[in-house]
Every structure is written in C-alpha cells, then in structure tokens.
Amino acid sequence: MQKFAIAACAIALMGVPAIADEATEHQFPLTMTEFMAAYPDATPEVFDQVDADGDGEISEEEYRDAREAGLIGDDA
C-alpha cells in the first residue's frame, strides 16, 4: 500500500509545473480589467504604454513587445 501511495503522489506532482504554466497564459486581447488583474501593481498609464495602437485592448503582439521592452515582467 505504501508503494501505491508514493507512486500516486509522484504522479500527482508531475502535473504541478503544467498547472503553473497554464496560470501564466493569457487569452488575447486583454482588456484593461484583465491586464490590471494579471498585473495588480501596474497603473493605467502602463496599460496605455503597452496598448501601442490605443484600441483599448492589448494584443498578443503588444504584450510580447512590452515584455521584451521591459514594460512588464514575468510575474503574471
């Protein structure tokens, strides 16, 4: 029984990194509300900088560009 419990725990732990990876994925485009929820320390001014075309939503390309430029970090 103990071997079964250890095996079950090991299998359960293998899924933890996958769950963490899914938590950082976003559905694009991001609204200001979604962006602010993902980056609670960000200001509306940061959202405006990331939203390069000013359409009120952050596209995947704008998000990627903002991360590369250092406007936002990997914390979301």
Whole-number pLDDT of residue 37 = 95
The full length of the chain comes to 76
Whole-number pLDDT of residue 74 = 75
Q: Predicted confidence band at 26 (pLDDT cuts at 50, 70, 90)?
A: confident
Contact 26, 38 (CB under 8 A): yes
Nearest in space to 63 (alpha carbons), one of 23, 18, 17, 25 = 25
Q: Is the pTM of this model over 0.85?
A: no
Whole-number pLDDT of residue 16 = 40
The domains of the chain are located at 2-69
